[in-house]
Copies of this chain bind each other. A is one copy, B any other.
Amino acid sequence: MLDEFIRTAVKNIKDYVPGQNPQKPGVIKLASNENPFGPSPMALEAIAKASSNLQMYPDQKSILLREALAKALKVKEDNIIIGNGSDEIMQIAATTFLKPGEEVIIPAHTFSLYELFAQLFDGQPIIVPLKDNEQDLEAMAAAITAKTKLIFVCNPHNPTGTMISAAKLGAFLAKVPANVLVIIDEAYVEFVEGKEFPNTLAMVKQRRNVLVLRTFSKYHGLAGLRVGYGIAPPELIKFMFRVKPPFNVNRLAQTGALAALGDKSFLDKTYQNNLEGKKYLYAELDKLSLEYKKTESNFIFIDVKRPSDELFLQMMKQGVIIRPLTSFGLPEAIRVSIGTTEQNEKFIALMKTLI
């Protein structure tokens, strides 16, 4: 029965490997780059007030949230589409644009859903190796053929935390033909410290062939609510709207995200804590002579030069959950979310005994 029933693409898909969740109280999770301060308090307040209307369908177009985002980002509302997480925007983009057999260029060792959606919708994933653990834009440009339709760029890069500069991204985009869409995943953009980060929203305003992805999961502390968004020229957004299920973003998600957007003190605290956490971790990892990447995000990539699955299990026993990068194809590296001062100290104390 199954051979007739299931699409071939589906049979070839691997299961997604999520970060492990704490099974008992007191365990620290530094595995999924969630906000160590919890959700935005203003989001919680807004959700409490909104819940009495839950019997009604949500706004199909997330109008209030798109208005607020447009104002905050200085783009137009018709540049924005809201998704049930930014992964839904990837899915919508693949459904809207990708024809069977078209090629999708994806950096190696990155967020696994790029490849999953490419496969699922019968695209041909073209995986381009990293260079010094960073996305190799020259090689990615060289991989473009007449069949290329989508290119995924992750900036800052998950799992290395490194950034592609405006100059490098500009040089790359100059080589991308107009009939290829570049999807730039900026899930961690709010944590960027580097001055040379590209202004991709300006590119959207110039109607370039880019789709920028952002999320409320990290900086705003709302991973559990599932709100992400895409920013692109209106000609593309319009068709993506047709593809999205009408009520894809739930009421509390729309309400919570809207409130979180204006939660300045929470967001400032989140940014500051991340800056300080970075400095502390750099200093301590240097003392341990461990190789790591300077990060532009809220996590840090460490080359532990030993099987990271083992280290993960050892650390979990001691109450700290990190992300071994085996599922990213990097079995000797780990990704650790930057936590509160106390969490970072506990992680370092454990590293001292285990490395």
Contact = CB atoms under 8 A, between A and B. Distances in A.
Interface of A: 1-2, 4-7, 10-11, 13, 15-16, 18-19, 21, 29, 32, 34-35, 37-39, 43-44, 47-48, 51-60, 84-85, 87-88, 91, 95-100, 113, 120, 178-179, 181, 209, 217, 221-226, 235-236, 239, 241-243, 245-248, 250-253, 256
A87 B54 contact: no
Contacts of A97: 5-7
Given A7-B95, A250-B224, A1 B235 contact: yes
Contact of A88 (B10, B100, B179, B245): B245
Contact of A239 (B11, B38, B60, B87): B11
A120 B11 CA distance: 20
Nearest to A2: B235
Given A239-B10, A245-B113, A57 B224 contact: yes
B55 A96 contact: no
Q: Which of A51, A223, A236 has the most CB of B within 10 A?
A: A51
Given A18-B57, A39-B54, A7 B99 contact: yes
Contacts of A58: 223-224, 226
B225 A247 contact: no
A313 B95 CA distance: 36
A254 to B, nearest CB: 9
Given A38-B54, A48-B48, A54-B224, 17 more contacts: A1-B178, A1-B235, A6-B96, A7-B95, A18-B247, A21-B57, A34-B55, A39-B51, A39-B52, A39-B54, A47-B51, A55-B223, A84-B226, A100-B100, A113-B246, A225-B251, A225-B252
A229 to B, nearest CB: 15
Contact of A55 (B35, B47, B52, B178): B35
Nearest to A112: B246
A16 B247 CA distance: 10
A161 to B, nearest CB: 19
30 contacts: A1-B179, A1-B209, A5-B181, A10-B96, A10-B242, A10-B243, A13-B243, A15-B242, A16-B246, A21-B59, A37-B55, A38-B53, A47-B252, A48-B51, A54-B225, A55-B224, A56-B224, A57-B217, A57-B224, A58-B226, A84-B248, A85-B247, A88-B245, A95-B120, A120-B243, A223-B247, A224-B251, A226-B248, A250-B250, A250-B253
B39 A44 contact: no
Name the residue among A38, A209, A221 with the largest chain B CB count within 10 angstroms: A38
Nearest to A227: B250
